[in-house]
A = this chain, B = another copy of it.
């Protein structure tokens, strides 16, 4: 199975690439292919230094969509519309949204679009046959990037296509100590996305860093 990371050169995207490329064929995408190739260099160097195998290629976002079975949209909400408008061939693909529309003033605030969440907005602008899942929303970029550290978090996964949800959950359970949980249909996405604002505020108000969630 080939995993594509659209926007794979940000902090979260690069951390995902480094962790996933030990397990899967990973295609890292960027608007600027050189940046994607830099990220791949980092992955390969780290793997080499640590005696790990690693399969990763740096491509454009469109080439990632063309080549991958599962596509993670590791982009900020503000670039979502323009990124999707610039891509074709998403029909039938599994797309994962870890996107949280959020603003920071005195506190972090969850600011969903009129559809109710980034994912519900995304559902409207993606082809009907795209199999959209929400996952990875509540893990801090710093934790992804700290690749020597384990990720001991729960990951809530929601979506309306049961088969793709199982594929995504199986993928999550192979990454570090992550544990996936089926959270029901895509209508649960507002809570999962909003939870990121909550854990960010908890970090801020309680002098903690990179707070995540475990369901117990």
Contacts and interface: CB of A to CB of B under 8 A. Distances in A.
A50 interface: no
Interface size class of A (residues with CB under 8 A): 20 to 34
A130 to B, nearest CB: 22
A24 interface: no
A107 B205 contact: no
A153 interface: yes
Given A183-B205, A212-B216, A198 B197 contact: no
Contacts of A213: 213-216
Contacts of A141: none
Interface stretch (A35-43, A80-88, A89-97, A188-196): A188-196
A191 B110 contact: yes
B214 A199 contact: no
SS of A interface (majority) = mixed
Copy number in the complex reads: 2
A211 B215 contact: yes
Nearest to A180: B206
A164 interface: no
A198 B212 contact: no
Contact of A183 (B181, B183, B198): B198
A182 B198 CA distance: 10
Interface in A165-215: 181-185, 187-188, 190-192, 194-195, 197-199, 201-202, 204-206, 211-215
Contact of A202 (B107, B183, B190, B202): B183
Contacts of A211: 215-216
A52 B107 CA distance: 43
Q: Which of A182, A188, A199 has the most C-beta atoms of chain B within 10 angstroms of its own C-beta?
A: A188
Contacts of A206: 181-182
B190 A194 contact: yes
A198 B202 contact: no
A109 interface: yes
16 contacts: A107-B184, A107-B185, A107-B188, A110-B190, A152-B216, A156-B198, A156-B202, A181-B205, A181-B206, A182-B206, A190-B194, A191-B197, A202-B215, A212-B215, A213-B213, A213-B215
